[in-house]
Structure 1
Amino acid sequence: MNKRAKQLVLACSVPVLILLGMCFAPLYTMLTGVDMILQTKPLDPSDLFRGDYVTLQYEAEEVPISLVDKAVVSRLQDQWGQFDVFVLMEKKDGVHTPIKVSLEKPDKGIFLKGTINYIDKGNQGQEIAFIEYNLDKYFLEDNTGAEWEKASAKGEILAKLKVNNGYAVLTDITTK
Protein backbone atom coordinates (compact mmCIF):
# COMPACT_ATOMS: atom_id res chain seq x y z
CA MET A 1 0.00 0.00 0.00
CA ASN A 2 1.51 3.32 -1.00
CA LYS A 3 1.66 6.46 1.14
CA ARG A 4 -1.32 8.11 -0.56
CA ALA A 5 -3.57 5.08 0.06
CA LYS A 6 -2.58 4.98 3.75
CA GLN A 7 -3.46 8.66 4.14
CA LEU A 8 -6.84 8.07 2.50
CA VAL A 9 -7.61 5.13 4.79
CA LEU A 10 -6.56 7.18 7.84
CA ALA A 11 -8.66 10.17 6.74
CA CYS A 12 -11.73 7.97 6.27
CA SER A 13 -11.28 6.01 9.50
CA VAL A 14 -11.02 9.01 11.85
CA PRO A 15 -14.68 10.16 11.41
CA VAL A 16 -15.87 6.56 11.72
CA LEU A 17 -13.94 6.12 14.98
CA ILE A 18 -15.37 9.39 16.33
CA LEU A 19 -18.93 8.27 15.55
CA LEU A 20 -18.33 4.87 17.15
CA GLY A 21 -16.90 6.62 20.24
CA MET A 22 -20.06 8.71 20.57
CA CYS A 23 -22.13 5.52 20.72
CA PHE A 24 -20.03 3.94 23.48
CA ALA A 25 -21.44 5.76 26.56
CA PRO A 26 -25.15 5.14 25.76
CA LEU A 27 -24.53 1.49 24.82
CA TYR A 28 -22.41 0.83 27.89
CA THR A 29 -25.09 2.45 30.08
CA MET A 30 -27.82 0.31 28.49
CA LEU A 31 -25.82 -2.85 29.17
CA THR A 32 -24.50 -2.15 32.66
CA GLY A 33 -26.72 0.63 34.06
CA VAL A 34 -29.04 0.49 37.06
CA ASP A 35 -32.79 0.89 36.54
CA MET A 36 -34.41 4.10 37.75
CA ILE A 37 -37.96 5.46 37.54
CA LEU A 38 -38.79 9.18 37.63
CA GLN A 39 -42.16 10.85 38.05
CA THR A 40 -43.05 13.36 35.36
CA LYS A 41 -44.86 16.67 35.79
CA PRO A 42 -47.77 17.88 33.67
CA LEU A 43 -46.66 19.42 30.37
CA ASP A 44 -48.48 20.05 27.11
CA PRO A 45 -46.07 20.04 24.16
CA SER A 46 -46.89 21.02 20.63
CA ASP A 47 -44.69 20.62 17.54
CA LEU A 48 -46.05 19.63 14.16
CA PHE A 49 -42.69 18.90 12.52
CA ARG A 50 -41.18 16.23 14.74
CA GLY A 51 -43.67 13.41 14.42
CA ASP A 52 -45.04 11.54 17.40
CA TYR A 53 -43.12 12.28 20.55
CA VAL A 54 -43.82 13.38 24.08
CA THR A 55 -41.95 16.11 25.92
CA LEU A 56 -41.21 15.18 29.52
CA GLN A 57 -40.58 17.32 32.55
CA TYR A 58 -39.65 15.64 35.82
CA GLU A 59 -40.44 16.36 39.44
CA ALA A 60 -36.73 15.68 40.13
CA GLU A 61 -35.82 18.76 38.04
CA GLU A 62 -37.14 21.06 40.77
CA VAL A 63 -35.23 20.34 43.97
CA PRO A 64 -35.97 22.16 47.25
CA ILE A 65 -33.06 24.36 48.33
CA SER A 66 -32.84 22.43 51.61
CA LEU A 67 -31.45 19.43 49.65
CA VAL A 68 -28.76 21.50 47.87
CA ASP A 69 -25.26 21.69 49.39
CA LYS A 70 -24.12 25.13 50.46
CA ALA A 71 -21.12 24.83 48.08
CA VAL A 72 -23.51 24.56 45.12
CA VAL A 73 -25.49 27.63 46.25
CA SER A 74 -22.38 29.74 46.82
CA ARG A 75 -20.88 28.70 43.45
CA LEU A 76 -24.14 29.62 41.72
CA GLN A 77 -24.08 33.03 43.43
CA ASP A 78 -20.40 33.63 42.59
CA GLN A 79 -20.45 32.32 39.03
CA TRP A 80 -22.90 33.33 36.33
CA GLY A 81 -24.02 30.41 34.16
CA GLN A 82 -24.71 26.73 34.38
CA PHE A 83 -22.50 23.97 35.79
CA ASP A 84 -22.73 20.25 36.45
CA VAL A 85 -24.00 18.83 39.74
CA PHE A 86 -24.63 15.34 41.07
CA VAL A 87 -28.11 14.50 42.35
CA LEU A 88 -28.23 11.58 44.78
CA MET A 89 -31.53 9.71 44.42
CA GLU A 90 -33.54 7.48 46.73
CA LYS A 91 -36.42 5.18 45.81
CA LYS A 92 -39.69 6.07 47.58
CA ASP A 93 -42.98 4.38 46.67
CA GLY A 94 -41.47 2.96 43.47
CA VAL A 95 -40.20 6.33 42.18
CA HIS A 96 -36.71 7.83 42.58
CA THR A 97 -36.56 11.26 44.19
CA PRO A 98 -33.62 13.59 44.97
CA ILE A 99 -32.20 13.55 48.47
CA LYS A 100 -29.01 15.60 47.94
CA VAL A 101 -27.45 17.87 45.30
CA SER A 102 -23.68 18.37 45.40
CA LEU A 103 -20.63 19.29 43.35
CA GLU A 104 -18.91 16.03 44.34
CA LYS A 105 -19.74 12.67 42.81
CA PRO A 106 -21.31 10.44 45.51
CA ASP A 107 -19.26 7.46 46.70
CA LYS A 108 -22.31 5.22 46.97
CA GLY A 109 -25.93 5.17 45.93
CA ILE A 110 -27.63 5.87 42.63
CA PHE A 111 -27.24 9.38 41.25
CA LEU A 112 -27.83 11.49 38.16
CA LYS A 113 -25.47 14.03 36.67
CA GLY A 114 -27.36 17.18 35.81
CA THR A 115 -26.86 20.84 35.00
CA ILE A 116 -28.06 23.39 37.52
CA ASN A 117 -29.58 26.41 35.84
CA TYR A 118 -30.67 28.72 38.65
CA ILE A 119 -32.40 28.98 42.01
CA ASP A 120 -35.75 30.73 42.20
CA LYS A 121 -39.07 30.61 44.01
CA GLY A 122 -41.39 27.79 42.97
CA ASN A 123 -45.19 27.77 42.72
CA GLN A 124 -45.52 27.26 46.48
CA GLY A 125 -43.22 30.21 47.29
CA GLN A 126 -40.28 28.09 48.48
CA GLU A 127 -36.81 28.32 46.96
CA ILE A 128 -36.15 25.67 44.31
CA ALA A 129 -33.01 24.64 42.39
CA PHE A 130 -33.83 24.00 38.73
CA ILE A 131 -31.76 21.15 37.28
CA GLU A 132 -31.75 19.66 33.76
CA TYR A 133 -30.94 16.03 32.99
CA ASN A 134 -31.34 16.14 29.16
CA LEU A 135 -34.01 13.43 29.22
CA ASP A 136 -36.83 15.60 27.95
CA LYS A 137 -38.03 13.92 24.74
CA TYR A 138 -39.21 10.40 24.04
CA PHE A 139 -40.15 9.42 20.48
CA LEU A 140 -43.20 7.18 20.08
CA GLU A 141 -44.75 4.77 17.64
CA ASP A 142 -46.74 6.44 14.88
CA ASN A 143 -50.27 7.55 15.77
CA THR A 144 -49.85 7.14 19.54
CA GLY A 145 -48.74 10.70 20.37
CA ALA A 146 -52.19 12.10 21.23
CA GLU A 147 -52.88 9.64 24.05
CA TRP A 148 -49.41 10.10 25.53
CA GLU A 149 -49.76 13.87 25.28
CA LYS A 150 -53.00 13.67 27.32
CA ALA A 151 -51.28 11.50 29.95
CA SER A 152 -48.33 13.92 30.05
CA ALA A 153 -50.65 16.90 30.56
CA LYS A 154 -52.07 15.11 33.62
CA GLY A 155 -48.65 14.10 34.99
CA GLU A 156 -49.49 10.40 34.71
CA ILE A 157 -46.28 9.25 33.00
CA LEU A 158 -43.42 7.44 34.68
CA ALA A 159 -40.07 7.48 32.89
CA LYS A 160 -37.83 4.41 32.99
CA LEU A 161 -34.09 5.06 32.84
CA LYS A 162 -30.84 3.15 32.83
CA VAL A 163 -28.20 4.94 34.88
CA ASN A 164 -24.47 4.27 35.04
CA ASN A 165 -22.11 6.58 36.95
CA GLY A 166 -24.55 9.49 36.68
CA TYR A 167 -25.08 9.12 32.94
CA ALA A 168 -28.73 8.31 32.15
CA VAL A 169 -30.52 6.93 29.11
CA LEU A 170 -34.33 7.18 28.81
CA THR A 171 -35.43 3.65 27.88
CA ASP A 172 -39.23 3.65 28.17
CA ILE A 173 -42.27 5.47 29.49
CA THR A 174 -45.36 4.03 31.17
CA THR A 175 -48.54 5.36 32.74
CA LYS A 176 -49.29 5.03 36.44
Structure 2
Amino acid sequence: MTRIDFMQRHRTKLFIVLIAAQILFLGGLVSYHYAALWFGQEARLATTPIDPRDLLYGDYVTLNYEISQLDPGLWRGPGNLPEEGDKVYVVLQLAADSDVYQAKALYSRKPAPSGGELIIKGRVRYATNTGIFINYGLEKFYIPENTGKQLEEQTDSLVVKVRIAPWGNAVIEEIEPLTQPR
Protein backbone atom coordinates (compact mmCIF):
# COMPACT_ATOMS: atom_id res chain seq x y z
CA MET A 1 0.00 0.00 0.00
CA THR A 2 1.42 3.33 -1.03
CA ARG A 3 1.28 6.46 1.04
CA ILE A 4 -1.35 8.00 -1.29
CA ASP A 5 -3.60 4.93 -0.97
CA PHE A 6 -3.24 5.12 2.84
CA MET A 7 -4.15 8.83 2.85
CA GLN A 8 -7.18 8.31 0.62
CA ARG A 9 -8.40 5.34 2.65
CA HIS A 10 -8.03 7.12 6.02
CA ARG A 11 -8.78 10.70 4.99
CA THR A 12 -11.93 10.98 7.13
CA LYS A 13 -10.18 9.57 10.20
CA LEU A 14 -7.25 11.95 9.78
CA PHE A 15 -9.63 14.87 9.37
CA ILE A 16 -11.48 13.94 12.56
CA VAL A 17 -8.19 13.58 14.48
CA LEU A 18 -7.01 17.01 13.29
CA ILE A 19 -10.30 18.68 14.28
CA ALA A 20 -10.27 16.93 17.68
CA ALA A 21 -6.68 18.06 18.31
CA GLN A 22 -7.62 21.68 17.58
CA ILE A 23 -10.67 21.50 19.85
CA LEU A 24 -8.60 19.96 22.66
CA PHE A 25 -5.94 22.66 22.27
CA LEU A 26 -8.46 25.51 22.43
CA GLY A 27 -10.32 23.83 25.29
CA GLY A 28 -7.03 23.52 27.18
CA LEU A 29 -6.31 27.25 26.76
CA VAL A 30 -9.75 28.19 28.05
CA SER A 31 -9.57 25.69 30.92
CA TYR A 32 -6.16 27.01 31.99
CA HIS A 33 -7.60 30.53 32.28
CA TYR A 34 -10.75 29.48 34.13
CA ALA A 35 -8.90 27.03 36.39
CA ALA A 36 -7.75 30.05 38.42
CA LEU A 37 -11.41 30.83 39.11
CA TRP A 38 -12.18 27.22 40.04
CA PHE A 39 -9.12 26.39 42.14
CA GLY A 40 -7.76 29.81 43.10
CA GLN A 41 -7.87 31.57 46.43
CA GLU A 42 -9.49 34.98 46.70
CA ALA A 43 -7.32 38.03 47.33
CA ARG A 44 -8.20 41.72 47.41
CA LEU A 45 -5.60 44.08 45.96
CA ALA A 46 -5.53 47.86 46.37
CA THR A 47 -5.54 49.73 43.07
CA THR A 48 -5.81 53.09 41.36
CA PRO A 49 -7.80 53.10 38.09
CA ILE A 50 -7.10 55.23 35.03
CA ASP A 51 -9.85 55.56 32.42
CA PRO A 52 -8.58 55.18 28.85
CA ARG A 53 -10.69 54.18 25.85
CA ASP A 54 -9.97 51.69 23.09
CA LEU A 55 -11.76 52.41 19.82
CA LEU A 56 -12.04 48.71 18.97
CA TYR A 57 -12.87 47.24 22.37
CA GLY A 58 -14.61 50.07 24.20
CA ASP A 59 -14.08 51.34 27.73
CA TYR A 60 -11.60 49.79 30.09
CA VAL A 61 -9.64 50.84 33.13
CA THR A 62 -5.91 50.47 33.51
CA LEU A 63 -5.28 49.28 37.03
CA ASN A 64 -2.19 50.36 38.93
CA TYR A 65 -1.79 48.01 41.91
CA GLU A 66 0.17 48.77 45.04
CA ILE A 67 1.99 45.47 44.43
CA SER A 68 3.04 46.61 40.92
CA GLN A 69 5.89 48.73 42.28
CA LEU A 70 7.93 46.92 44.89
CA ASP A 71 10.83 47.98 47.07
CA PRO A 72 14.11 46.32 45.98
CA GLY A 73 14.57 45.28 49.62
CA LEU A 74 11.87 42.64 49.09
CA TRP A 75 14.10 40.77 46.58
CA ARG A 76 14.99 37.31 47.91
CA GLY A 77 16.25 35.82 44.66
CA PRO A 78 19.83 34.84 43.95
CA GLY A 79 22.18 37.52 42.70
CA ASN A 80 21.24 41.01 41.60
CA LEU A 81 17.78 42.43 41.04
CA PRO A 82 15.69 40.80 38.31
CA GLU A 83 15.88 42.24 34.82
CA GLU A 84 13.23 43.27 32.30
CA GLY A 85 11.14 40.28 31.19
CA ASP A 86 12.15 37.99 34.08
CA LYS A 87 9.42 35.88 35.63
CA VAL A 88 9.03 36.55 39.37
CA TYR A 89 6.85 35.29 42.20
CA VAL A 90 5.51 37.74 44.78
CA VAL A 91 4.54 36.49 48.23
CA LEU A 92 1.38 38.25 49.42
CA GLN A 93 0.11 38.55 52.98
CA LEU A 94 -2.86 40.31 54.50
CA ALA A 95 -2.13 43.82 55.71
CA ALA A 96 -2.32 44.08 59.50
CA ASP A 97 -5.18 46.59 59.60
CA SER A 98 -7.03 45.73 56.38
CA ASP A 99 -8.52 42.94 54.27
CA VAL A 100 -6.19 43.87 51.38
CA TYR A 101 -3.09 41.83 50.51
CA GLN A 102 0.34 43.45 50.30
CA ALA A 103 3.71 42.25 49.06
CA LYS A 104 5.98 40.54 51.58
CA ALA A 105 8.80 39.15 49.41
CA LEU A 106 9.86 38.69 45.79
CA TYR A 107 11.50 35.52 44.38
CA SER A 108 12.82 34.25 41.07
CA ARG A 109 11.40 30.76 41.76
CA LYS A 110 8.07 29.87 43.30
CA PRO A 111 8.51 29.53 47.08
CA ALA A 112 6.34 27.43 49.35
CA PRO A 113 3.76 29.69 50.99
CA SER A 114 3.37 29.62 54.75
CA GLY A 115 0.11 30.12 56.62
CA GLY A 116 -2.13 32.78 55.10
CA GLU A 117 0.24 33.70 52.29
CA LEU A 118 -0.53 33.64 48.58
CA ILE A 119 1.92 33.52 45.67
CA ILE A 120 1.24 35.52 42.50
CA LYS A 121 3.29 35.25 39.31
CA GLY A 122 4.36 38.31 37.34
CA ARG A 123 6.87 39.65 34.81
CA VAL A 124 9.32 42.43 35.51
CA ARG A 125 8.66 45.55 33.42
CA TYR A 126 11.90 47.08 34.68
CA ALA A 127 13.96 47.26 37.85
CA THR A 128 15.99 50.10 39.31
CA ASN A 129 17.64 50.74 42.66
CA THR A 130 14.46 52.54 43.75
CA GLY A 131 11.82 50.05 42.62
CA ILE A 132 10.94 46.84 40.83
CA PHE A 133 7.97 47.32 38.48
CA ILE A 134 5.91 44.20 37.74
CA ASN A 135 3.02 43.27 35.43
CA TYR A 136 0.67 40.49 36.55
CA GLY A 137 -1.61 40.32 33.51
CA LEU A 138 -4.32 42.04 35.57
CA GLU A 139 -3.61 45.61 34.50
CA LYS A 140 -6.49 46.03 32.04
CA PHE A 141 -10.17 45.48 32.92
CA TYR A 142 -12.97 46.09 30.40
CA ILE A 143 -16.05 47.80 31.81
CA PRO A 144 -19.51 48.82 30.57
CA GLU A 145 -19.46 51.87 28.33
CA ASN A 146 -19.33 55.28 30.04
CA THR A 147 -18.63 53.89 33.53
CA GLY A 148 -14.86 54.51 33.59
CA LYS A 149 -15.11 58.03 34.98
CA GLN A 150 -17.16 56.76 37.94
CA LEU A 151 -14.40 54.31 38.82
CA GLU A 152 -11.70 56.92 38.33
CA GLU A 153 -13.43 59.26 40.83
CA GLN A 154 -13.07 56.56 43.53
CA THR A 155 -9.28 56.32 43.24
CA ASP A 156 -8.58 56.05 46.97
CA SER A 157 -11.33 53.57 47.73
CA LEU A 158 -11.12 50.73 45.20
CA VAL A 159 -9.89 47.18 45.47
CA VAL A 160 -9.81 44.44 42.89
CA LYS A 161 -10.99 41.01 43.94
CA VAL A 162 -8.85 38.39 42.16
CA ARG A 163 -8.50 34.63 42.27
CA ILE A 164 -4.94 33.36 42.45
CA ALA A 165 -4.37 29.78 41.29
CA PRO A 166 -1.93 27.53 43.15
CA TRP A 167 0.56 27.89 40.25
CA GLY A 168 0.54 31.73 40.51
CA ASN A 169 -1.76 32.88 37.69
CA ALA A 170 -4.47 35.34 38.67
CA VAL A 171 -7.85 36.37 37.22
CA ILE A 172 -9.91 39.44 38.09
CA GLU A 173 -13.33 38.68 39.55
CA GLU A 174 -14.57 42.21 40.18
CA ILE A 175 -13.70 45.76 41.17
CA GLU A 176 -15.34 46.90 44.38
CA PRO A 177 -15.20 49.74 46.92
CA LEU A 178 -12.76 49.38 49.78
CA THR A 179 -14.63 48.46 52.98
CA GLN A 180 -11.78 49.10 55.44
CA PRO A 181 -9.15 51.86 55.40
CA ARG A 182 -5.75 51.03 53.90
Determine which of 15, 33, 37 is the counterpart of 1:30. Answer: 37
Specify the structure having the higher radius of gyration (Cα): 2
- Structure 1 equivalent of residue 165 of structure 2: 164
- Structure 2 equivalent of residue 124 of structure 1: none
Determine which of 100, 111, 134 is the counterpart of 2:119. Answer: 111
In the TM superposition, what is the alpha-carbon distance from 1:63 to its structure 2 partner? 0.4
In the TM superposition, what is the alpha-carbon distance from 1:172 to its structure 2 partner? 0.5
In the TM superposition, what is the alpha-carbon distance from 1:106 to its structure 2 partner? 1.6
In the TM superposition, what is the alpha-carbon distance from 1:49 to its structure 2 partner? 3.4
TM-score, normalised relative to structure 2: 0.81
Q: Secondary structure at the match of 1:104?
A: coil
1:89, 1:118 → 2: CA distance?
A: 20
TM-score, normalised relative to structure 1: 0.83
CA offsets, 1:128-175, max 9 Å, x none?
Answer: 111110101112234423312333xx3432110001121111110012
In the TM superposition, what is the alpha-carbon distance from 1:62 to its structure 2 partner? 0.3
- Structure 1 equivalent of residue 135 of structure 2: 132
What aligned pairs does 1:141-160 form with structure 2 within 5 A after superposition? 141-151=144-154, 154-160=155-161
2:79, 2:58 → 1: CA distance?
A: 38
Percent of residue pairs identical = 27
Say yes or no: does 1:174 pair with 2:176. yes
Q: Secondary structure at the match of 1:100?
A: strand
Q: Secondary structure at the match of 1:71?
A: coil
Paired residue total? 164
What aligned pairs does 1:1-176 form with structure 2 within 5 A after superposition? 2-41=9-48, 43-69=50-76, 71=78, 73-74=80-81, 76=83, 81-92=84-95, 93-108=98-113, 109-120=117-128, 127-151=130-154, 154-165=155-166, 166-176=168-178
Structure with the higher helix share, 1 or 2:
1
Could you tell me whether the CA contact under 8 Å between 1:82 and 1:117 is conserved in 2? yes
RMSD: 1.9
1:104, 1:161 → 2: CA distance?
A: 22
Q: Which runs of 5+ in 2 are unaligned?
A: 1-8
Could you tell me whether the CA contact under 8 Å between 2:54 and 2:60 is conserved in 1? no
